[in-house]
């Protein structure tokens, strides 16, 4: 079975979640994005109609070209104020990805309130942590 996100089956299921199901999170975020784009484009359209409704003599072509480039920049999201896409209009808690990742066993021990790392209290004659007995010998029969 294909596990990659480039596989056709996974892409088709995600497309179905995004477009067909009204209650899915994909559809909700997709609808919110479309709403934001619609508002942005409507403000651009209103701004362009207000500037073109005032007749001016000379230099109209240059102003039209400048307004079209400004509209294209806004549509692409080049301005830093419009580039942010907040889904919840509120500050979301940022998830930290730094630090060490615990193994599943260590996460279980931490959830149970146990120490994450096992205590190794035995020391050898040199004062170092003692190794397991017959450390070089394999433990498993092969």
CA distances (Å), origin 16, targets 2, 30, 33: 18, 12, 17
CA distance 36 to 25: 17
Q: What is the pLDDT of residue 125?
A: 80
Q: What is the pLDDT of residue 80?
A: 46
* Short-list 76, 68, 90, CA closest to 40: 76
The model's pLDDT over 55-96, given as tens digits with 9 standing for 90+, comes to 555 555 555 555 555 565 555 555 545 445 555 566 677 777
The C-alpha atoms of residue 110 and residue 104 are separated, in whole angstroms, by 10
pTM across the whole model: 0.28
- Yes or no: say if 88 and 82 are a contact pair by the CB < 8 Å rule: no
pLDDT of residue 82: 46
């Amino acid at each position: 079975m294909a596990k990659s996100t480039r596989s056709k089956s996974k892409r088709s299921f995600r497309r179905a979640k995004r477009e067909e199901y009204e209650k899915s999170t994909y559809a909700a975020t997709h609808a919110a994005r479309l709403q934001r784009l619609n508002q942005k484009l409507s403000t651009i359209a209103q701004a362009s109609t207000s500037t073109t409704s005032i007749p001016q003599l000379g230099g109209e072509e240059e102003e039209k070209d400048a307004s079209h480039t400004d509209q294209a920049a806004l549509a692409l999201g080049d301005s830093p104020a419009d580039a942010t896409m907040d889904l919840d209009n509120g500050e979301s808690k940022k998830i930290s990805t730094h630090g060490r990742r615990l193994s599943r066993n260590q996460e279980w021990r931490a959830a149970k309130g146990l120490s994450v790392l096992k205590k190794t209290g035995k020391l050898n004659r040199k004062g170092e942590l003692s190794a397991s007995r017959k450390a070089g010998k394999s433990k498993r029969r092969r």
